[in-house]
């Protein structure tokens, strides 16, 4: 499932909470065999519109790492709305992980939609 125009910074805190509840309630949920964070990572993709812009640009790297989002995030512009994200201005001006921009802009979508 791809969640479009919902942002992405909210996912990690939700995942932490779901994992914590799962661990406490595990006895009552014998049919669940995996942590919610594992299921979410395998089945949920997100888009960058709207782009969460941390107060300090380097915190964007923390969002990517903590949310395990490098291969689960796809670029979305919201064009033609007046507040759309231009591809050239969509990302913080910091050193991003190697290959992240290519994954974000097209590789992740190619894989998700099974395009050549």
pLDDT in tens, 29-56: 899 999 999 999 999 999 988 887 788 8
By the 10 Å C-beta count (0-12 exposed, 13-18 middle, 19+ buried), 69 is classed as buried
Structure tokens at 106: 């097209």
Cα(63)–Cα(109) distance, integer angstroms: 20
Total number of residues shown for the chain = 116
Distances (CA, A) of 90 to 1, 5, 23, 41, 85: 23, 14, 37, 23, 5
Give the model confidence (pLDDT) of 78-97 as tens digits. Answer: 888 887 877 777 777 788 88
Provide the residue ranges of all domains of the chain, joining segments of one domain with +.
2-112
């Amino acid at each position: 499932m791809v969640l479009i125009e919902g942002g992405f910074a909210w996912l990690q805190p939700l995942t932490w909470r779901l994992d914590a509840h799962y661990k406490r309630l595990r006895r009552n949920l014998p049919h669940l065999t995996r942590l919610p964070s594992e299921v979410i990572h395998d089945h949920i993709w997100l888009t960058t519109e709207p782009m969460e812009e941390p107060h300090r640009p380097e915190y964007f790297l923390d969002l990517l790492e903590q949310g395990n989002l490098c291969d689960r995030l796809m670029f979305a512009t919201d064009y033609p709305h007046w507040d759309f994200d231009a591809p050239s201005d969509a990302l913080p001006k910091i050193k991003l992980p190697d290959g992240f921009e290519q994954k974000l802009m097209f590789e992740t979508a190619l894989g998700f939609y099974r395009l050549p």
